[in-house]
Every structure is written in C-alpha cells, then in structure tokens.
Structure 1
Amino acid sequence: MSTIHVESTSSSSMSHHEHTGYHCQVVGEGHGYCHPRKGDVRSPCPALNTLANHGYLPRDGKSISVFDLIRGLRQGYSLSIPLAFLLSFSAVLILGQFRSISLADLARHNLIEHDASLFHRDAKKGEEYAPRCPDNSLLKQIILQGGHYKHGFITLADVANIRVKREIVKPLDGVHAEIARGEMAIAIGVLGGRNSATEGLDLEVLRHWAKYERFPDNWKPDHVQGLYKSYKMTKVIRDRMDDMKSGKLKNVLDEDTGGASTRVEPSDSVNPK
C-alpha cells in the first residue's frame, strides 16, 4: 500500500454555515471534508461520521435511508454489495427504524453501540445514549498497545490483545462481542489496503481517522472489501481472543509495561488464508 500523507485537522478556516442534507456551502456537493456544524448530529461510530463529514452520507447526519447507508459505504469505503447490504439492513433492523435513521440513533446504548469500545467511553449507568465523541485517552491507549507485531502498525493480533483487555473489565454478550470484532476487522481491511490482513493498518492513520473522523488526505480505497474477507479477518481476532481466554495463548499486554516497545512474533493463525 502506498504511503498516506496525514495532515492535522483544523476547522478554523471554515466560515460559519449550516448543512442541509448532502449540501455544504463551503465544499459544495463533492466529498471534501467539512467539520460538523451547529445542528448536525453524529454517532459513536467513526466510520459513519467520516462518511457524513465527507458528504457520502447527509452532512447533517439526519434522514438517512438504508439505501443511503448502502451507497455511502460502497462509495466511501468500497465495500462489496453483499457486505454493504448486510451492514445497512442489520443496522435498521436492530434499531427498529425502517424508514430512516439519524446518526444520533446509533448512540442508543446496547443496540448497535456497545461497551468496551476502542474509541469512546461506555454509557453511564441508566443513560439511554452513549458518548458520541472519541475519547483521547482511549485513542492514546490503542497507539501504545498496538505495534507489537509490526512497528507502527495495528494488526489483527494487536486488536485481539486489546479487545481481551477491554472485555475483562467490561464483558460483552455474544452479539456485541462479534460487532466489536467485526468493526475493527473492517476498519483495518479498508483503511489498511488490500494487504492489511497480514500487514495491518498504520497506527497514525487509525488515530487520525478515529479522532478527526475524516479520511487522510489523498486517501482512496485500493480494493473492494468483501464479506468473506471481512469474515476471515474477524475470525482471526475471535480465534486469538478465544485462545487467550482459554490460556492457550498469552496476552502480551499482560506483561508489557512499555507500550508498543515489546515485539512478539505472531502465530501462523494471525494471517487469514
């Protein structure tokens, strides 16, 4: 995969304006980045927020149909038709909103949103909605805990290590555990490029995407991310997590006191065939 140039994000240069549907007065009808404006709504999901910030979904985050979701996922992330259909129809079915949704609906706790997220804090006890903004301390933890198998990159094996640590503190039911694994497998698969199943994703690209909810400058998908590949990548994470929970495999984060400075060779099961 080619090197991705990442620049810092600033909204100070953008004039005051509001968004209506897909329209942005600053960047027009294209897919340039624009920070959410007053009245816009967002979710705890950086993937969908990024699509809205780039105009692949309505920039105000409102009145999104299932076909808007399918089109946005296909155009923005180059997901295959089966994968985009599965994710989009699953979302509206779980939310129980069949005509349209807003991104804010995705923050409803324990529907699609779940505890032990890598990017945002858990919903407070008794709260219906979870926090929508990424948490800087959690993002910093990911950067420190990743990179064990390839310097500067988060791999599927790293995700398994981190998820086991998160879920010790806050266990998840089977459905939400699978959602948590799948969302990271797809994020690495799309942002990391066609070889990401073995090579992982640049940690700085992950940090930039999750924190600012925008694509790195000049980034474009270099492949179609399909359902079967996403399943295989998710299975790698699940299998390694199961091995750690059963004691067959040691979680390197249990002994790591120096962040990503420790390097451990991954087992053969890390690389999906």
Structure 2
Amino acid sequence: MRRAATRPGVDTAASTTSAITETPFSPLLASPVPAHDHHSHASGICLVRGADNAFCPPQPGDKRSPCPALNALSNHGFLPRDGRNIGPFKIYHALREGYNLSMILAFILAFGGWAILGQLRKVSLLDLSRHNCIEHDASLFHLDAHGKEEYAPIAASNSLMKSALYQGGRYRSGHMTLEDVANIRVKREAALEKPLRWWQAEIARGEMAVAIGVLGGKDADKKGLDLEVLRLWVTQERLPDDWEPDHTQGLFKTGKMATVIRDRMAAMKKGQMTNILDNELTPIFSPTESVSVGI
C-alpha cells in the first residue's frame, strides 16, 4: 500500500476543481505544493511529480468528475493524472491500491458504476458527471444540475461545503459521523422537487459510508471522520500527507454503515425521530459558487 507522499515547497498551485480556498489547511494535514508552471498530464503521468503518488492538482486539459474519491485518486496518480482513457479495471485497481477497498467492494463500485453509466468504451472522469446516472441531486457538497443540462457541476459548492461542515460535528466535536450525514441528507433531500431514484439514494448513502469508513479509519463507524480531513478531501481532492488506510474497507462494514444512515433518515422522515438541524437556523454562507463542467 503506497502512501500519499509528502512534498515541501511554496503553495502557488490551486486545484481547478475547487473554489474554496479562504482558510489554509493545517500543515499537519497537507504540505504546500511546490511552485511550478502549468505542465501537461497528457501521458497520464505527472512530469513534475514523477511516478509516485504525490499530489498534483489538475492541469489545463485534465478531466475531473463530481466525485472527490476518484478525483483524489487521479490527483495522486492512482488513476491517470489527466483523467482520460479510464475503464472499470483501472478504477477497480485504483480503489484497491489507493483506498484499500476489499476486492468485492471495489469490483461492485467499479463495474456496477460502469453498468449504470452505460458505457462500452473507455471514458474520461468528466463522463461520470452525466446527470441522473451515477451522479445525483441532493449531494452534500455539489450543486444540483440545472434544468435539462446533461452534465452536472463538477466543482464543490462553497456554501454547501460550509453548511455541511457547520452541520457536522453534533455527536462528536470536529467529526462527521454517520448520524450527522443522515441529518444533513434529510435536509438536502427535502428540498428536492422530485425524490431520488432508489439506486441514487443508495449511492448517496453508500458514498458517504465509504468516505467516512476509509478516511476515518477502522473505528470510523463509531467515531466519524475528522472534519478537516473531509474538507481537504472534498475541496482540494487530495489525501493528507503520509496518509494510508489502516484497514480494509469491505462490503459488509460499508453496508452496515449505510444502513445506519438509511434507518435514521427513514425514522426522521416518518416523524419517529427529530432532526436536530430543524431546531436551528443554518448561517447563510457566501453565495459564490463554482459550477464549471468543462475541466
């Protein structure tokens, strides 16, 4: 299992997939990116960072998706750094190597997602933003697709990200727990004109179960995920320096975590449980949003 490498330097490079840069990250999480001119990832590797898994933000012409999990794998070189010519086998191996998912969970995510996408050829990460396939409305961190647009925004929303960070940490300070996710998801889905399709609702719960399970460590089902790690992962689409998985995230554990979210959401929707977020007014954050779909 290779680690996300540490690289010291001056931070002058910014991810083209995120506009959330007001607050610097702790140097304990992520070292600054060395200054360098724009360069090409056309070969699928980074000529500046080399063949290791050090972080390099997307360069002009690189493709990215609305999924921070896959974008981070590309930014660290587990997937082609240009985000192009990707098939299910590459995604499977990247999920195994980068996040240490079990064979069966990685297989289901890679090939199941491919089936939903309906592709018979290799794609770019941008293709994953096709609306109402794998991509879905009511994301915790991304704006919904506008009208009949074929592709959804790929960049994280400033206001949604800040709202999620504000609404998290209610059960364990500084951590996003499964209970927090359920509370936030109920609020997001309540704002939809049409409910999510059943498989999209499963994806929405499962993707957060995987994120918390992998990045939060082996006890994340109880302790949650550090909010600063979550912010780094979503907004910069990178892994903390020297981070590596401390366990194999499997299908059974992920399913149990997703079920916690599902059952709590169902109880709140039926009025059997109170959503603590209903008792407060979430601050209105900056309306400035990043909605690029052409990276």
User: Where does residue 172 of structure 2 map in the other structure?
Assistant: 150
Whether the 8 Å CA contact 1:15–1:26 is kept in 2: the answer is no
Whether the 8 Å CA contact 1:4–1:218 is kept in 2: the answer is no
User: Where does residue 41 of structure 1 map in the other structure?
Assistant: 63
Query: Residue type of the partner of 2:67?
Result: C
Deviation of 1:217 after TM superposition, in Å, equals 1.3
1:194 counterpart = 2:222: no
Q: Specify which of 11, 28, 39 is matched with residue 5 of structure 1.
A: 28
Q: Specify which of 178, 203, 209 is matched with residue 233 of structure 2.
A: 209
Q: How has the CA–CA distance of structure 1 residues 255 and 173 changed in structure 2, closer, same or farther, with 3 Å as cutoff?
A: same
Higher helix share: 1
Q: Specify which of 81, 88, 96 is matched with residue 59 of structure 1.
A: 81
1:228 counterpart = 2:252: yes
Whether the 8 Å CA contact 1:78–1:225 is kept in 2: the answer is yes
1:92 counterpart = 2:109: no
Query: Residue type of the partner of 2:190?
Result: I
The 5-angstrom pairing of residues 144-183 of structure 1 reads 144-170=166-192, 171-183=195-207
Query: Residue type of the partner of 1:124?
Result: H
Query: Residue type of the partner of 1:92?
Result: W
Query: Residue type of the partner of 1:225?
Result: Q
Deviation of 1:102 after TM superposition, in Å, equals 1.1
Q: How has the CA–CA distance of structure 1 residues 27 and 199 changed in structure 2, closer, same or farther, with 3 Å as cutoff?
A: same
Query: Residue type of the partner of 1:156?
Result: L
Query: Separation in 1 of the partners of 2:132 and 2:157?
Result: 19
Coordinate RMSD, CA, aligned: 1.6
Query: Residue type of the partner of 2:176?
Result: I
Q: How has the CA–CA distance of structure 1 residues 137 and 90 changed in structure 2, closer, same or farther, with 3 Å as cutoff?
A: same
* Partner deviation per Cα, 1:145-202 (whole Å, 9 max, x = no partner): 0011000001000000000000000131211111100000000000000000000000
What is the TM-score normalised by the length of structure 1? 0.90
Query: Separation in 2 of the partners of 1:117 and 1:9?
Result: 29
What is the TM-score normalised by the length of structure 2? 0.84
Whether the 8 Å CA contact 2:182–2:262 is kept in 1: the answer is yes
Q: Specify which of 139, 143, 146 is matched with residue 117 of structure 1.
A: 139
Q: How has the CA–CA distance of structure 1 residues 4 and 220 changed in structure 2, closer, same or farther, with 3 Å as cutoff?
A: farther
Query: Separation in 2 of the partners of 1:228 and 1:216?
Result: 26
Q: How has the CA–CA distance of structure 1 residues 62 and 164 changed in structure 2, closer, same or farther, with 3 Å as cutoff?
A: same
Whether the 8 Å CA contact 2:131–2:152 is kept in 1: the answer is yes
Query: Separation in 1 of the partners of 2:32 and 2:143?
Result: 22
Q: Secondary structure at the match of 1:139?
A: helix
Q: How has the CA–CA distance of structure 1 residues 120 and 8 changed in structure 2, closer, same or farther, with 3 Å as cutoff?
A: farther
Query: Separation in 1 of the partners of 2:28 and 2:225?
Result: 14
Query: Separation in 1 of the partners of 2:235 and 2:70?
Result: 13
Q: How has the CA–CA distance of structure 1 residues 250 and 8 changed in structure 2, closer, same or farther, with 3 Å as cutoff?
A: farther
Deviation of 1:20 after TM superposition, in Å, equals 2.4
Query: Separation in 2 of the partners of 1:230 and 1:256?
Result: 31
User: Where does residue 292 of structure 2 map in the other structure?
Assistant: none
Moved over 3 A (4+): 7-11
Query: How many matched pairs?
Result: 256
User: Where does residue 36 of structure 2 map in the other structure?
Assistant: 14
* Partner deviation per Cα, 1:33-77 (whole Å, 9 max, x = no partner): 111011100000000000000000010101111110000000110
Deviation of 1:92 after TM superposition, in Å, equals 1.1
Whether the 8 Å CA contact 2:75–2:237 is kept in 1: the answer is yes
Aligned residues with identical type, % of pairs: 56
User: Where does residue 92 of structure 2 map in the other structure?
Assistant: 70
1:79 counterpart = 2:108: no
